């Protein structure tokens, strides 16, 4: 579904019990002539950092696995587009509408604030920095929800000199703060700078430091000259919004917004219309008008792949398994049906062909369904037996009308328990149900 400077993303289908399924994203590393261990550390760093943040504006990390020596990262599937694609698609209509741009940036700032406020298990503050925020790392769902991806990748980029050959990575350097370009210490204000550059570009249509080549762009970022004010590019540009943007892209980080939340609150105070209740409807309309056709094509492509894969199993019965056969398999439409592992209990075969199973199911923590009824009946029989023994040892009492049915309980010694739990036959009563009670009021003593 996507290919970047560090890896490629596949859409996959996670299948569970009784027909449950959902789409997920799988990231794998691109093959490169460089150090394999370095590439693995790159992915592990992303997993370690991204897995710490839990927020609705951050794409969730679900699992890290390995298949035949290849590491893969399982992530939440965001049914949408990178912000960079949305910017390109909206150019014909005059760019992203101002209120939509501010709302999307506000959502990104919420995700950043959650990362910057992360605390470890002991409650100690442990900020998580993105370090590589750009429009390509902000995914926007077709319903208008912005989610941050690719946390922690910048650190691996600095260790791999071969990455400079990829133009997509060179473009991301245009959003790096001066302290990052110069190799200095970075903090949450470095991420705020990247958000400010993105907001500047969304609202003006120009990059604040763009030059003829990457080297010149980096020089513009680190020199002392400030960026051109947005009002000099676009007439009627809001002075309040301009103040927020220019403070975010200050080259001296002590003069920037100290946190993502303070920048978001400043945007909300300056342009409250972009954060009004019900603005989500405008986001959905914008996405449908801008990338609606691409949304339909993507969903149709995924659905077609599912049909092809389902047909590859040769199981047209439509039956669903009561338990999960596998937890996750990467979609591979042109592969042969996978062979089930012997460790998996017999069940309906998978309904689509995929790559070999990535990991077996964990053992059930509850009895299988076919043993639950016998175990329940066995437990009830034991309870009846204990009740009968206690009744034998109880002193004789005058029977009442309510106690009469107790005469039908079988108090004879139990038979030997079967080797396997089975449904026991009904016990024969010790005396006939119609036998009269003795005139003295005493119950007949059962034969031992």
Distance between CA atoms of residues 343 and 172, nearest Å: 46
Percent of the chain scored above 70 by pLDDT?
60
Summarised one tens digit per residue, pLDDT across range 261-278 is 999 999 999 999 999 999
pLDDT number for residue 225: 93
Segment (H or E) for 144:
none
Q: Which band of pLDDT confidence, cut at 50, 70 and 90, is reported for residue 182?
A: very high
Summarised one tens digit per residue, pLDDT across range 393-430 is 555 444 443 433 333 334 444 544 444 443 334 444 44
Q: Which band of pLDDT confidence, cut at 50, 70 and 90, is reported for residue 72?
A: confident
In the chain, where are the structural domains located? 79-291
DSSP states of 52-74? T---TTBPPEEEEEEETTEEEEE
Q: Which band of pLDDT confidence, cut at 50, 70 and 90, is reported for residue 236?
A: very high
Closest CA to 196 of 127, 126, 267, 137: 267
Cβ(371)–Cβ(335) under 8 Å? no
Summarised one tens digit per residue, pLDDT across range 315-351 is 444 444 454 444 444 444 443 344 333 333 444 333 3
SS3 47: helix
Segment (H or E) for 154:
helix 153-159
Per the model's pLDDT, the better-predicted residue between 169 and 197 turns out to be 197
DSSP state of 231: G
Segment 119-136 shows an average pLDDT of 85
Closest CA to 103 of 86, 127, 121: 86
Q: Which residue has the tokens 């997509």?
A: 168
In the sheet that holds 80-82, the strands lie side by side as 80-82, 138-141, 146-148
Distance between CA atoms of residues 141 and 83, nearest Å: 10
Q: Which band of pLDDT confidence, cut at 50, 70 and 90, is reported for residue 100?
A: very high
Segment (H or E) for 75:
strand 70-76
Per the model's pLDDT, the better-predicted residue between 27 and 281 turns out to be 281
Distance between CA atoms of residues 191 and 49, nearest Å: 15
Per the model's pLDDT, the better-predicted residue between 54 and 24 turns out to be 24
- Right CATH for 79-291 from 3.40.50.10420, 1.10.510.10, 3.30.390.10, 1.10.3720.10: 1.10.510.10
Distance between CA atoms of residues 59 and 111, nearest Å: 9
Q: Which residue has the tokens 């926007």?
A: 140
Is the pLDDT score of 138 beyond 90? yes
Q: What is the dihedral of CA 92, 98, 102, 107, to 10 degrees?
A: -40
End-to-end CA distance of the chain: 77
Segment 87-91 shows an average pLDDT of 94
Distance between CA atoms of residues 111 and 55, nearest Å: 6
The residues, any chain, with a CB within 8 Å of residue 21's CB and separated by 6 or more, are: 13, 14, 15
Distance between CA atoms of residues 402 and 104, nearest Å: 72
| pTM strictly above 0.85 | no
Percent of the chain scored above 90 by pLDDT?
42
Tokens representing residue 86 in the block = 């949305």
Closest CA to 429 of 363, 383, 384, 398: 384
The residues, any chain, with a CB within 8 Å of residue 53's CB and separated by 6 or more, are: 111, 114, 115, 118, 128, 151
Instruction: Average the pLDDT over each of 41-55, 124-138, 216-230, 332-346 and give the range with the smallest value.
Output: 332-346
**Side-chain half-sphere of 305: how many Cα atoms within 13 Å?**
19
pLDDT number for residue 381: 66
**Side-chain half-sphere of 387: how many Cα atoms within 13 Å?**
9
Question: What's the mean per-residue pLDDT of the chain?
Answer: 74
Per DSSP, helices labelled H in 256-368 are: 260-270, 280-311
Tokens representing residue 426 in the block = 């009904």
How far, in whole angstroms, is CA 65 from its chain's centroid? Answer: 15
How far, in whole angstroms, is CA 260 from its chain's centroid? Answer: 23
What angle (nearest 5°) sits at the alpha carbon of residue 83, between those of residues 234 and 193? Answer: 65
Closest CA to 267 of 164, 204, 378, 192: 192
Q: Which band of pLDDT confidence, cut at 50, 70 and 90, is reported for residue 53?
A: confident
DSSP state of 404: G
């Amino acid at each position: 579904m996507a290919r970047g400077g560090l890896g490629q993303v596949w859409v996959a289908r996670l299948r569970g019990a009784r027909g449950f399924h959902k789409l997920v994203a799988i990231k794998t590393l691109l093959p490169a002539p460089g150090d394999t261990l370095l590439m693995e550390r790159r992915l592990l760093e992303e997993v370690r950092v991204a897995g710490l943040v839990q927020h609705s504006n951050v794409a969730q990390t679900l699992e890290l696995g390995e298949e035949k020596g290849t590491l893969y990262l399982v992530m939440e599937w965001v049914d949408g587009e990178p912000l960079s694609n949305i910017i390109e698609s909206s150019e014909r209509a005059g760019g992203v509408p101002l209120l939509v741009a501010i709302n999307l940036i506000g959502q990104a700032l919420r995700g950043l604030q959650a990362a910057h406020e992360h605390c470890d298990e002991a409650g100690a503050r442990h900020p998580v920095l993105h370090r590589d925020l750009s429009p390509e790392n902000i995914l926007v769902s077709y319903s208008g929800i912005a989610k941050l991806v690719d946390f922690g990748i910048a650190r691996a980029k600095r260790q791999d000199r071969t990455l400079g050959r990829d133009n997509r990575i060179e473009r991301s350097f245009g959003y790096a703060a001066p302290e990052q370009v110069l190799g200095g210490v970075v903090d949450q204000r470095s991420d705020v700078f990247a958000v400010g550059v993105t907001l500047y570009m969304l609202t003006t249509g120009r990059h604040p430091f763009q030059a003829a080549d990457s080297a010149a762009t980096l020089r513009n970022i680190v020199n002392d000259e400030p960026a051109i004010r947005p009002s000099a590019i676009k007439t009627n540009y809001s002075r309040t919004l301009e103040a927020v943007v220019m403070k975010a892209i200050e080259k001296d980080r002590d003069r920037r917004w100290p946190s993502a939340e303070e920048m978001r609150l400043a945007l909300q105070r300056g342009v409250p219309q972009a954060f009004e209740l019900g603005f989500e409807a405008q986001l959905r309309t914008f996405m449908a008008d801008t990338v609606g056709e691409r949304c339909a094509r993507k969903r149709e492509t995924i659905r077609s792949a599912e049909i092809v894969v389902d047909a590859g199993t040769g199981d047209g019965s439509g039956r669903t398994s009561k338990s999960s056969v596998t937890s996750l398999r990467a979609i591979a439409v042109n592969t042969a049906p996978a062979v089930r592992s012997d460790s998996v209990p017999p069940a309906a075969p998978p309904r689509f062909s995929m790559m070999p199973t990535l990991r077996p199911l964990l053992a059930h923590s509850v009895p299988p369904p076919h043993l639950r009824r016998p175990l329940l009946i066995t437990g009830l029989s034991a309870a009846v037996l204990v009740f009968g023994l206690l009744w034998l040892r109880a002193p004789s009492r005058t029977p009442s009308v309510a106690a009469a049915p107790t005469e039908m309980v079988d108090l004879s010694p139990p038979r030997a328990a079967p080797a396997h739990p089975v449904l026991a036959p009904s016990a024969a009563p010790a005396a006939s149900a119609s036998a009269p009670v003795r005139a003295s009021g005493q119950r007949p003593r059962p034969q031992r």
